[in-house]
Amino acid sequence: MPRVFCGIDWASDHHDVALIDQDGTLLAKLRIDDNPAGLTQLLDLLADHGDNPESPIPLAIETSHGLLVSCLRATGRPVYAINPLTAARYRDRYALTRKKSDHLDAKVLANILRTDIAEHRPLPTDSELAQAITVLARAQQDAVRDRTQAGNKLRSHLREYFPGFLPVYAHYREGITPPVTRTLLAAAPTPTEAARLSRTQLRALLTKAGRQREIAPEVERLHQLLREPQMRQPPLVEQAMGAKTRALLRQFDAACTSADDLETATAAAFEAHPDAEIITSFPGLGALTGARVLAELGDDRTRFADARAIKAYAGAAPITRASGKKTTVPARHIKNQRLAAVGYLWAFAALTASPGARAHYDRRRAGEERHTAAQRNLFNRMLGCLHHCLTERIHYDEQTAFPNPPQHSATAAA
């Protein structure tokens, strides 16, 4: 059991530090700047109070990101990221008047470790490559959301003055995202300009966008669609809206490029990781989705005690609430949202890639579960298999994961 505990109240340009002993006595307090000199002051303070590689002083801080946290993790010290809501509830134990200060917050964080260190987990000791994959995978996921938001803005704007363009990309699986759609809209952002495009110009635009097959039928389709009658805005208003479309299109192009570049970088980093082959051996997981799974689980095998811990972390396992004679088992809402999001993609893709997964899903649906619940249960099952395979360093095996033959699916298909 550590004898000294450290709490750090994080801020953008400075940090307040408090050290207490196992009896709760304040040993030292310090305000440091967010720079190398401040980090040196903190390390010297810890060393003065018995910090050493064999018995490092645990540190509590309200964030898991930033240079300070990264540098402290690099030294091998246990760093506990405390949820700010948790710290706020602990604060009432030490200040009934609800007073608040940076020094008090640092002391509260230190006391959390002193009294309840067993209830909290230190940040995992993931490898440098795993941390890099986490940065890239989360950035790519955010870029996809930005791309979707920018595409929705552009689509909503087109409905206001150029509804005739909406059928142009209606049959594309990617919607408004493909280069063909964006190239065409950049060349003719208004109904007037679009109607003037000749077949030769349309062919040139399709070639410029990278279209290689069935160009002639597509030219005829576009030539007809862009000339169909539609409601129009006044000419000057239409031109103004066309100018706005060009601006929105530039933002959309940038979002598409960022998402594509980050996808390439994420896949390259993921394929270099030793866990990549095991993860992608699972049905429904490719380079990108596998990278997202690895990014949230990490490669520190001591992070999760068992498969149940991973399932709870991902929100795949339900949570039990019992009071007296009343017991409810609802879905878990406090979870890693990024891992839960990729979990639904994984489970959905596994339905067509794995007969056993499909049979498992069909059995849950036959038991009157809704689609979302059955899919979440399948994700729960696959997470357990993943934990076993990563622990034992073996690849996924369909017969081991789903030993029962898919009789239900065969009956349903018949």
CA gyration radius for the chain? 28
pLDDT, tens only, 184-242: 999 999 999 999 999 999 999 999 998 888 899 999 999 999 999 989 999 999 999 99
One-letter amino acid of 320? T
Report the chain's mean pLDDT, rounded to a whole number.
Answer: 91
Band (pLDDT 50/70/90 cuts) for residue 105 is very high
Q: Residue range 82-94: average pLDDT?
A: 87
- Alpha carbon distance 299, 131 (integer Å): 9
Q: Is the Cβ–Cβ distance between 82 and 112 less than 8 Å?
A: yes
One-letter amino acid of 319? I
| 23, two tokens | 């009896």
pLDDT, tens only, 278-328: 999 999 999 999 999 999 999 999 999 899 999 999 999 988 888 888 888
Q: How many CB atoms lie within 10 A of CB 231?
A: 8
Residues 6 or more apart whose CB falls under 8 angstroms from that of 116 comprise: none
- Alpha carbon distance 311, 381 (integer Å): 9
- pTM, entire model: 0.87
Fold of 4-119: Nucleotidyltransferase; domain 5 (3.30.420)
Kindly report the backbone phi and psi dihedral angles of residue 229, in degrees, each rounded to the nearest multiple of 5, phi listed first: -60, 145
CA dihedral 19, 24, 27, 31 (to 10 degrees): 40
CB burial string 351-387: b at 16+ within 10 A, e below = beebbbbbbbbbbbbeeeeeeeebbbbbbbbbbbbbb
| 48, two tokens | 């003065």
- Percent of the chain whose pLDDT exceeds 90: 75
Which is higher by pLDDT, 257 or 94? 257
- Alpha carbon distance 267, 136 (integer Å): 9
One-letter amino acid of 95? A
Q: Return the pLDDT at 213.
A: 87
- Domains in the chain: boundaries: 4-119, 132-268, 278-413
Residues 6 or more apart whose CB falls under 8 angstroms from that of 161 comprise: 190, 191, 232, 233, 237, 238, 241
CB burial string 11-26: b at 16+ within 10 A, e below = eeeebbbbbbeeeeee
Q: Closest by alpha carbon to 346, among 266, 271, 285, 295?
A: 285
Q: Return the pLDDT at 223.
A: 93
Q: Return the pLDDT at 407.
A: 54
CA 252 and chain centroid, separation: 21
Strand partners, 17: 8, 30
CA 75 and chain centroid, separation: 27
- Alpha carbon distance 296, 300 (integer Å): 11
Q: Is the Cβ–Cβ distance between 183 and 205 less than 8 Å?
A: yes
CA dihedral 125, 127, 129, 135 (to 10 degrees): 0
Of 22-26, 285-289, 328-332, 340-344, minimum mean pLDDT range: 328-332
On the question of pLDDT at 12 being above 90, the answer is no
